[in-house]
């Protein structure tokens, strides 16, 4: 096919970066999600599954599940089946949850068991969450990461804060 860009051979060996971290830029918002969830005391907030069971297969940590849902919320992915697909193929999400990929039923069960807690965290703490983003960014900077807050993220966050204030005000 002369005149067009040719595709590469699918069977050709490649030397890709060995670490998933190399695919996620320092400016990527998943780094903030990771730091933000790390700051929350999930047991105090009331998440189910914080205590380990003595029998059976170990479950996923609630922080991992919450990271997946927060990522899905920020990227407009609501379906548990879609979140399962993204966890298996999306490099940002692989980085965020350490290459764990819970199935859709596990994700749906977590949402059902913790629906009220997730809503309360999002409803009662939106301003605290918004204020924690610069704190998380400064902690990332102290750890040597050159993360900076993208302008679009700041604008979207400010818009969500303004929307929350309007929704919370009495009519």
**Residue 5 within a domain:** no
Domain encompassing residue 86: 21-48+59-168
**Residue 95 within a domain:** yes
The closest alpha carbon to 61, from 21, 97, 20, 90, belongs to 97
Name the average pLDDT for the chain. Answer: 77
The closest alpha carbon to 30, from 100, 118, 111, 95, belongs to 95
The number of distinct structural domains making up the chain is 1
**Residue 1 within a domain:** no
**Residue 2 within a domain:** no
Report the half-sphere exposure of 77 (CA within 13 A, side-chain side). Answer: 19
pLDDT tens track for 22-53: 888 887 888 878 877 887 888 888 888 888 88
This prediction has a pTM of: 0.70
Give me 164's structure tokens: 């929350």
**Residue 8 within a domain:** no
**Residue 11 within a domain:** no
Q: Counting beta carbons within 10 angstroms of the beta carbon of residue 157, is it exposed (0 to 12), middle (13 to 18) or buried (19 or more)?
A: middle
**Residue 86 within a domain:** yes
């Amino acid at each position: 096919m002369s005149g067009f860009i040719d595709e590469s051979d699918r069977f050709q060996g490649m030397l890709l970066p060995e670490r998933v971290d190399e695919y996620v830029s320092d400016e990527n918002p998943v780094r903030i999600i990771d730091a933000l969830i790390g700051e929350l005391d999930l047991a105090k907030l009331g998440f189910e599954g914080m205590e380990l069971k003595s029998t059976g297969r170990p479950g996923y940590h609630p922080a991992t599940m919450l990271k997946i849902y927060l990522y899905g919320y920020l990227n407009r992915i609501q379906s548990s089946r879609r979140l399962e697909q993204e966890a298996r193929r999306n490099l940002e999400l692989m980085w965020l949850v350490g290459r764990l990929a819970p199935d859709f039923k596990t994700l749906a069960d977590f949402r059902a068991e913790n629906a009220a807690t997730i809503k309360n965290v999002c409803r009662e703490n939106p301003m605290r969450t918004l204020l924690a983003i610069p704190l998380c960014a400064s902690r990332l900077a102290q750890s040597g990461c050159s993360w900076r807050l993208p302008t679009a993220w700041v604008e979207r966050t400010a818009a969500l804060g303004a929307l929350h204030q309007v929704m919370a005000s009495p009519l």
